[in-house]
Amino acid sequence: MRLLIMGPQGVGKGTQAKLIAEHYGIPHISTGDIFRYNMKNNTPLGQEAKSYTDKGQLVPDELTNKIVKDRLAMDDAKNGWILDGYPRNAAQVEALDKMLEELGTPLDKVVALDADRDILMKRIAKRAAEEGRADDNAEAIAQRLKTYDEETAPLLDTYKSRGCLVPIDGEGDIEDISKTIFDALD
């Protein structure tokens, strides 16, 4: 099974992606983890990404696309994966479509989690307190949610028109949300 998991910050994508990966025996591929792996291991792609992040810049789409394609082509992803944190914009959707075609691995479904903004803000504040994440302050959260609304949320319509969108209410108990996801995918 080849899946995307999408949704705003704090909706539980990472938590659910790990559970989905375990349930289906597929790797959970987080773009953040891919970047960290490549930079830590000083791969050519990691060196290139680091040249941007060291300047406080976002890694450009072209390089992000290369890093994602490289990861999806690895042996453990041959029988499926769940991709978390990508695509984030329309250009990345096009790039993903092209790489999946080249790899001969079509996308099965897009799990789209959503929750009320007040709940998202509370979850992120809790995460910031528990994990000490400096990037989870009110101003940064508001900016990330705004960016999601402007750039990523519209992508859901693309996947809906393709008939592969699985909208899921991201409010409630983790186990209940997982069960809803599994019921929708099975």
Point out the residues that are catalytic: 13, 88, 127, 133, 144
Q: What is the Cα–Cα distance from 66 to 36, expressed in whole angstroms? A: 15
Q: Which backbone phi and psi does 28 adopt, to 5 degrees?
A: -90, 115
Between CA 129 and CA 121, with CA 118 as vertex, the angle to 5 degrees is 25
Upstream peptide bond of 87 is cis (omega within 30 degrees of 0):
yes
Q: What is the Cα–Cα distance from 91 to 96, expressed in whole angstroms? A: 9
Q: Give residues with Cβ within 8 angstroms of 148, minimum separation 6.
A: 8, 9
Amino acid at 82: I
3 near 108, Cβ under 8 Å? yes
Helices 174-185 and 13-24 cross at an angle (nearest 10°) of 50
Q: What is the Cα–Cα distance from 84 to 26, expressed in whole angstroms? A: 13
